[in-house]
Amino acid sequence: MDDLSALGLGRDDDATDTSSSDTEREQHAEREQRAEGDEGRGRRGRRRPHSRAARALIGVSLALVALLVVAGVAAGGFALHLASSWDDATTTLDDAFPADAGRPAPADDGSLNVLLMGSDSRGDETTLDDGSPSDQRTDTMMLLHVDADRQHASVMSVMRDLWVPIPGRGEGKINSAFAHGGSPLAVQTVEQLLGARVDHVAIIDFEGFADMTTALGGVDVVSEKAFRSASSDPGSPHEYVRGVNHLEGDSALAFVRERSAFADADFQRVENQQAFLDGVLRTLVSRATLTDPTRVTGFLAATAPHVTVDADLDAGTLVALGAGLRGLRPDDVDFFTVPTAGTGTSADGQSIVLPDDAAISQLRDALRDDQVRGFLDARGGRP
């Protein structure tokens, strides 16, 4: 059994004596190939860059991988230490969900949905932590779907300006649901859109981002396009190559916030955000990280204080989930955006993103049947 299997990640039949440096070189080459194959996946959209939105995205991304790593190392020798650290450092959200009446039924096949939200305001910390209505909008939303067999997972980005019905409020941008009704209304809106029950919720603040990425020693991220970003500091722009970029701190923040460099604007930014998340996940489950308890615990120590979770998403739940996620690899996690039908203008003059109702109906069926990967294949293959 190799080191990854001992920690609860990786399959026993994949054991290898390859050194970590060789493994990292192979991963670098693989990512270059993925960049070659990803040309031209951009979509159109119109939005202004928003530094708080970028920080929210990073917080969501790191919270997601923190959840996966805590669960994934649950079978490892220091699982109890990690679990205890998670419970001690995270904040519990007692009122995360709407009333049960009218909600989709829990899945009877064991599949799992976790709604991840990042606020676009650094304001009232108490309001963020308790998930109550405020002037904060969830500028970033992602739904993590874990298949019943625990062999695959999907991360669905929801465009922040997606125009949807908001229960009790009429139509609006999906990111306004949190402002109107806190976590319960945000959950209800997503459940109504996707027809699937949200089992757990994580809300993120985004202080401490630099510490999170530094704890990992930076992250290798594949960019499908070369570009320059001056969004974070016009006097000191960041340059990115097509292929693998090593990102840390400000360079990572600039990568995920940039939209003005692209013809397809906010849509390309969302794809960059997904690429960043993929890079963080690959870094976390690499041999170099998982065989370094200091790095793993350092990452969790930097991340957990900035995460608020529902009362049931505790260490015990994550350890139980980890028993089934032992074989999950980065290539088993699909990243995509909930289907859209371009952009438009609402009756009151707002710039909005239009939902692709037909494709979303198919996605609803796929979530119900635990066939999200099949849905992606039917739409032309996984990204």
Q: Where are the domains of the chain?
A: 3-378
How many Cα atoms within 13 Å fall on the side-chain side of residue 311?
Answer: 5
Q: How far apart are CA 375 and CA 358, in angstroms?
A: 13
List pLDDT tens digits, range 70-97: 555 544 555 666 767 778 888 898 899 9
Q: Which residues does residue 333 pair with via DSSP β-bridges, in sequence order?
A: 153
DSSP β-ladder status, 333-337 and 153-158: parallel
Q: Residue 40's Cα: distance from chain center in Å?
A: 22
Q: What is the pLDDT of residue 123?
A: 39
The pLDDT tens digits of the residues spanning 200-257 come to 998 876 555 556 777 888 989 999 999 998 665 666 789 999 999 999 888 887 887 7
Question: Could you tell me the pLDDT band of residue 134, with boundaries at 50, 70 and 90?
Answer: low
244 touches 32 (CB < 8 A): yes
* Rounded Cα distance, 30 and 36, in Å: 10
Digit-coded pLDDT (tens) for 60-71: 444 555 565 555
State residue 160 phi and psi, 5-degree precision. Answer: -65, -25
Largest CA distance in the chain: 62
As a CATH number, domain 3-378 is 3.40.630.190
Q: If DSSP codes are grouped into helix, strand and coil, which group holds residue 275?
A: helix
Give the 3-state secondary structure percentages of the chain, helix then strand then coil, rounded to 5. Answer: 45, 20, 35
Token pair of 98, please? 């709407």
Residue 382 to residue 13: CA distance in whole angstroms: 25
Strand duo 153-158 + 138-146: pairing: antiparallel
Give the three-class secondary structure for 213: helix
Structure letter (DSSP) for residue 326: T
Which residues, at least 6 apart from 3, have a Cβ–Cβ distance to it below 8 Å? 287, 290, 291
CA neighbor of 156 nearest in space, from 367, 369, 380:
367
- The listed range with the strongest mean pLDDT (37-51, 133-147, 183-197, 286-300) is 183-197
pLDDT value for 177: 95
Residues of the chain above pLDDT 90, percent:
36
Sequence-distant (6+) residues with CB within 8 A of 196 are 104, 107, 113, 143, 145, 364, 367, 368
